[in-house]
Chain A
Amino acid sequence: MSVLIYAENADGKFKKSIFEVVSYARAIADQNNTTLTAISIGDVSADELNKLAKYGADKILNVANAQLKNFVNQAYASIIAEAAKKESADVVILSNSFSGRGLAPRLGVKLDAGVVDGAVALPEQNGGNFTVKKTAFSGKAFATVQLTSANKVIALIPNSYRIVEVAKSAKVEDFSVDTKASDFKAMLKEIVRSADKVSLPDADIVVSGGRGLKGPENWGMIEELADLLGAATACSKPVSDAGWRPHSEHVGQTGIAVSPNLYIAIGISGAIQHLAGVSSSKVIVVINKDAEAPFFKVADYGIVGDAFEVVPKLITAIKEHKASA
């Protein structure tokens, strides 16, 4: 037995969430006194690959094939499943990213494995039982799932496990698999990346605006605040429904679920559907002119005041804080 992770890259680079996956998988390998193999698919430099060792990979399988440079769900799933078989891996771990969520269910079927998506903690193993805690009811609760199959697939939520550095070196092996043509039916035409912005699911800090901001023309200060904090911007559902902001920024039960270190909600009332998607944030700050807004009940810090006065003051205060740091 061993543990395998899929080290997803974005444009040849691993994100923090992948190092979290490696650290998490390292801990599982240690629990079971076994080894950790990472598989990377696409065009990733040797230097970048070696970063996986820094967080605990014992071995790195590198699939550097031009046809596979960009994500192809079916083909990637076939390759990862082959790698799992080659390594006799009975636990396969991925990031609960958009691509990870495409791969996990296919891997589950291929490997005859139970799948835990949205995992938030290390598995507990005792007396042959293997259980993992995951989010459920769109962030309103957690469920502990027991996997009864011999093989297991786990997709880990970003920012739910701390990165741990270990001094390891790993050998990188080229790995190739015969892929079948039917795995390449879906063809990528174009990738659009908004390179200048912090991506919402990966962000450590999120600055989010609601209907209290009155209109899209008032998002300048939200963006400025986000820029200063290195944060991603987000919004409530009515804001994206009205077209003030893109759908990809909508957080909540029917939008993206986020768990950043800091979530700043500005002019958002805190409806149950909104809270569902943000309640696992480590620290929540609420700025609302209504002291009775439900959001204050789940906030760590709050300012009762008019966003149009408070946010510019915050911006000034952060600039001063940065200047003095």
Chain B
Amino acid sequence: MKVLVCISNVPDTTTKITFTDNNTQFNTNGVQFILNPYDEIALARAIELTEGDGGTVTVINVGDVSTEATIRKALAIGATDAVRINAKPHDAWYVAYQIAQYVKANPFDLILTGRESIDYNGSKVAGMLGELLDLPSVSIIKKLDIDGDKATVEREIEGGKELLTIPLPFVAGAAEGVAEPKIPNMRGIMSARTKPLVVVEPVEVKTNSEIISYETPAPRGQVKLVAADDAAKLIELLHTEAKVI
């Protein structure tokens, strides 16, 4: 089985988010970039699914040269090879369009993304890829098993879950539960340096969205502390002052 895993390069989860240029640019100064945590889950599952069946796991990223450290990390974890589409990821549509072009020329049995990127949180690339490739897509999956040319996936819904069967190929966004992320071992790190990383030039496409500014949430006022033995006081405040119960 040939699996494609779409990976994004995102600020580390401990990053304190700030902006520059009059709040129009994300301040990357001193920010450590990592492989998106959900993409780690997708990658781990792809490796498990191809282990022992002679299959391959290709990782693909739309990004400039600065993302190569993250791509090498994915190779170290166990991807077979990598593709980088040499362009800034303008928005989800741009990313999905580029990846779809690549997949049309290089078909896969299964395409995995993360459930969302932790920077722009769109949950969009999987669905857009599905539509562009006329394949089924499930944006957020909690389990993925493959049996021959069919998969069983568990999809989260509000207050429950759905079990679906889907014929390969399809696109799905991995969330917690699909697999445990894998930590690269020494051999993986050594071999990652020599695994193929192909750089492809982007195709031209019109974009349809633009981030024009950012802001951080308004700070909350000073916390009102209530004495530990006066729980009734808290309930009263929540009722009469905050009016939430």
Q: How many residues of B are counted as interface, with CB atoms below 8 angstroms from the partner's CB atoms?
A: 82
| CB nearest to A263 among chain B residues | B244
Contact in complex: A186, B231 (CB < 8 Å):
no
Interface residue B84 (Cβ < 8 Å from any Cβ of A): no
Asked if A314 contacts B166 (CB within 8 A), the reply is no
Chain A 47-60 interface 0/1 with B at a Cβ cutoff of 8 Å (1 = within): 00000000000000
Which candidate, B54-62, B65-73, B118-126, is the interface stretch facing chain A?
Answer: B118-126
**B90-102 interface code vs A (CB 8 A; 1 in, 0 out):** 0111001000000
Residues of A within 8 A of B106 (CB): none
Instruction: Please pick, from A99, A137, A190, A285, the residue contacting B11 in the complex, using a CB distance under 8 A.
Output: A137
Asked if A126 is at the interface (CB within 8 A of a chain B CB), the reply is no
Evaluate contact between A99 and B238: CB separation under 8 angstroms: no
Determine whether the beta carbon of A105 is less than 8 Å from that of B125. Answer: yes
In angstroms, Cα B193 to Cα A72, docked, is 43
A185 touches B166 (CB 8 A): yes
Find out whether the CB atom of B118 lies under 8 angstroms from the CB atom of A137. Answer: yes
Decide if B93 touches A115 in the complex (CB within 8 Å). yes
* A-side contacts of B131, CB under 8 Å: 77, 105-106, 108-110
Scoring A residues 268 to 283 as 1 if CB is less than 8 Å from chain B, else 0, what string do you get? Answer: 0000110010011011
Main secondary structure of the interface of A (DSSP, over half): mixed
A112 to B97, CA, bound (A): 12
Note all chain B residues with C-beta closer than 8 A to A73. 127, 130, 136-139
> A262 with B211: in contact, given A189-B152, A192-B161 (CB under 8 Å)?
no
Q: Separation in Å of the B114 CB from the closest CB of chain A?
A: 10
Taking the complex as formed, is B224 at the interface, i.e. its CB lies under 8 A from any CB of chain A?
yes
Known contacts A71-B162, A283-B242: does B152 contact A102 (CB below 8 Å)?
no
Beta-carbon nearest neighbor of B142 in chain A:
A247
The chain B residue with its CB closest to the CB of A260 is: B244
Binding stretch for chain A, among B1-9, B42-50, B75-83, B202-210: B202-210
Q: What 1/0 mask marks residues of chain B from 158 to 190 whose CB sits below 8 Å from any chain A CB?
A: 111111111100100000110000000000000
Residues of B close to A197: CB separation below 8 A: 159
- Roughly how many angstroms separate A314 CA and B157 CA in the complex, as a whole number? 31
Closest Cβ of chain B: how far from A235's Cβ, in Å?
12
Given contacts A108-B93, A279-B217, contact A285 B234 (CB under 8 A): yes
Q: Could you list 10 A-B pairs, sorted by A, with CB under 8 Å?
A: A73-B130, A102-B139, A105-B122, A105-B123, A105-B124, A115-B92, A186-B138, A303-B228, A304-B225, A314-B231
List of 5 A-B pairs having minimum Cβ-Cβ separation, nearest first: A199-B159, A305-B228, A105-B127, A114-B208, A313-B231
Which A residues contact B (CB, under 8 angstroms)?
A: 10, 15, 70-71, 73-74, 77, 97-99, 101-106, 108-110, 112-118, 131, 135-149, 182, 185-195, 197-202, 205, 229, 240, 247-248, 250, 253-255, 257, 261-262, 272-273, 276, 279-280, 282-286, 296-306, 309-310, 313-314, 316-318, 320-321
